[in-house]
Amino acid sequence: MPIGKLAWTIVAMFAFVPGAFAQRNDRNPVENTPTDRALESARLDDIHLAMEDSYATLTQIVVLTPDCVFRGNTSVTRRRNVNKVGITQDLPLIGEFFVDTPRQGELNAANQLGLAYIHDSTLFVDLRSARGSPTTDRSLLSTLANGPTGGQSAAFAPNGAAPPFVGFSIVNRNFQFQVPRANFSAAAHAGTACRKDAMTRLPPLAPLFAQPVGTVHLLNGQLIVLVKPSIVAGY
C-alpha cells in the first residue's frame, strides 16, 4: 500500500479509538470548527488573541534580549492548528496537515526564557534575567516600539553567543501563529548599541504592567510565546 494511503488509514483508525486524541478542546469546540480548520495555513497580517478576560490585536512585536532589542511586524503570519490527533504528529510530513507543532506539556518551566506583555497593539517579549532599576515611566514602551533603530545589525538570537532562533511564534487557543523570522531586525535602545549585556541596563518591563499575558519558551530552536488559554497548556 502506498505510504500516503497507509498514513490516512492509520489516522482514520485512531480517529475512532477513545483516547486517541492527544490534544482536544472540549471547553470551546467552536474554535475547532470546519471553518477554523479550513484556515489551517491562512496567511494573516495581524494576530488576534483571545485571553481569559480580554482580547488583543497584534501588529508589532518587540523582543528584548540581554544584548539587543529586535522589532518585527506581524505581516504574512501563518496560522496553524495545534488541536490535532496526536498520532499524526509522529508520522512523516504529508502536506500541511502534518506540520510539526507544540504539544501539551512541551512548553514548560524547564525551557522558559522569559515573560510577554501587551501594550496597544505591540507584544513585548522580555528574555532578560538581569535588568536595571525599575521605573513606572511607560514612555519606555513607546521608545522600544517606535524609537530610532540606531542602524544596528545583530543575529536574532537569545544572545550574541547563541545560535539564531529558527522561528518565532505565538500559541493561543487552538492555534500557533508563526511570524517570519525575516520580519525581525535589530533596534537598539536610544543611546546604546547591541553588545554583550547592553540591554540589561534597561528597566524591567514587569512594573509597567498589571500582569504578563504569557510565558516565553525555547523549543527545538523556536522562540514560542504561550498565551493562555491554549490547548497546548491543557485548556
Cα–Cα distance measured from residue 234 to residue 106, given in angstroms and rounded to the nearest whole number: 11
Predicted pLDDT at 75: 94
List the domain boundaries for the chain.
3-233
Q: Over the stretch 19-61, which tens digit does the pLDDT of each residue have?
A: 333 444 444 444 556 665 555 678 899 999 999 889 999 999 9
> If you write DSSP's letter for every residue of 200-217 in order, what string do you get?
GGSPPSGGGSSS-SEEEE
* Residue 235 predicted with pLDDT over 90: no
Average pLDDT score, the chain: 81
Q: Over the stretch 173-210, which tens digit does the pLDDT of each residue have?
A: 999 999 999 999 998 877 788 999 999 999 999 999 99
CA angle 217, 155, 65 (to 5 degrees): 45
Q: Over the stretch 89-118, which tens digit does the pLDDT of each residue have?
A: 444 444 444 446 888 889 999 999 999 999
Q: Which three cell numbers stand for residue 122?
A: 505591540
**pTM recorded for the entire structure:** 0.80
Q: Where are the beta strands (DSSP E) in the chain?
A: 43-44, 47-50, 55-58, 60-64, 69-73, 77-81, 112-119, 122-126, 167-173, 175-179, 185-186, 214-219, 222-230
